[in-house]
Amino acid sequence: AITMLLSKPKVFRDELALVLQKFWQNGFRQDWLALETGLRAESFRMRDLREEGSAGDLGRALNLPVAFDDDASEIRPKTGLAIGYDRVDRCYVIPSAFNARRWWAKYETKAQRVTLYLPITTEPTAPNTVAEDDRKASELPAKNHRAIAAEHPAINAESVFRALGDTTRYAIASILARTPTTSADLARSLKVSKPTITHHVHALRSAGLIAETPSGGSTKLTLNKDIVAALSGAAVEQLFSSTGDLALDTTRKRRNS
């Protein structure tokens, strides 16, 4: 391959383009279609976090593979030398469904400037499994879609109930069920701070209750109707299941006498 690259670069380029095209058509396309919505939602969450906190706050919230030390103005890898903020030319933070080992990269120029590529990996589900589940669901008659959605492991009834159990979050969900709304408009409507809205939106998003759409430089939030419609079936399946461990955490802790 190296010999062809050096001696026949155009032929090598054309063959590589063909391989990538085949890979997209025959394998990766369905995986990407299944994953794109979740990864896009994660990118919106990143933007919310960055607007509300420092680089250090962002790094901790996203569990990045390096630590941002705002006091020292340095990025600290687990091994190797620290990188001063003033040396960073660009830092790309990228949601990833494939980088399970959380590999990150650093490129340095002759001028001692650094470009960083940092992954976020929050979804353990294999991409091809997600794509296969979506394909099977799409092949069923429309009358069966609700039943499949209710049994889909992505719908965690406990998470949804926890998210909606807060009065502010229930108010947010009620607004979003009627009208697509930005986080800023939610803060104004409910007369709460933007950090508070960011916190509640993240909780709703984590439960799968929020869909997001870019709109004129902002992001419109809507309530995910499919998740709400499937909640009853998912709750019955999960509450009355005779297998699996019970989650018996409570909000009140026993006092020591």
Torsion sign, CA atoms 20, 21, 27, 31 = positive
Answer yes or no: are the C-beta atoms of 151 and 140 closer than 8 Å. Answer: no
Write down the residue that tokens 């909000």 correspond to: 251
Point out which residues pair with 212 in neighbouring strands: 221
Structure tokens that stand for 249 in this block? 């955490």
pLDDT tens-digit profile, the chain (257 residues): 688 778 888 888 888 899 999 998 887 887 777 777 667 666 766 776 776 678 888 888 888 999 999 999 999 999 889 999 999 999 998 888 778 788 999 999 888 899 999 998 755 455 555 556 555 555 555 445 445 444 444 677 888 888 888 888 888 998 898 888 888 888 888 888 888 888 888 889 888 888 888 877 778 899 988 888 888 888 887 777 656 555 555 544 454 54
pLDDT at position 252, please?
Answer: 47
Rounded Cα distance, 134 and 60, in Å:
33
pTM score of the predicted model: 0.48
Rounded Cα distance, 218 and 216, in Å:
6
How many CB atoms are located within 10 Å of the residue 107 CB? Answer: 11
Which residues in 115-127 are b (16+ Cβ under 10 Å) and which e? Answer: ebebbbbebeeeb
Residue 183 has, within 13 A of its CA and on its CB side, a CA count of 27
Torsion sign, CA atoms 79, 80, 81, 87 = negative
Domains of the chain: 30-139 (no CATH), 141-239 (1.10.10.10)
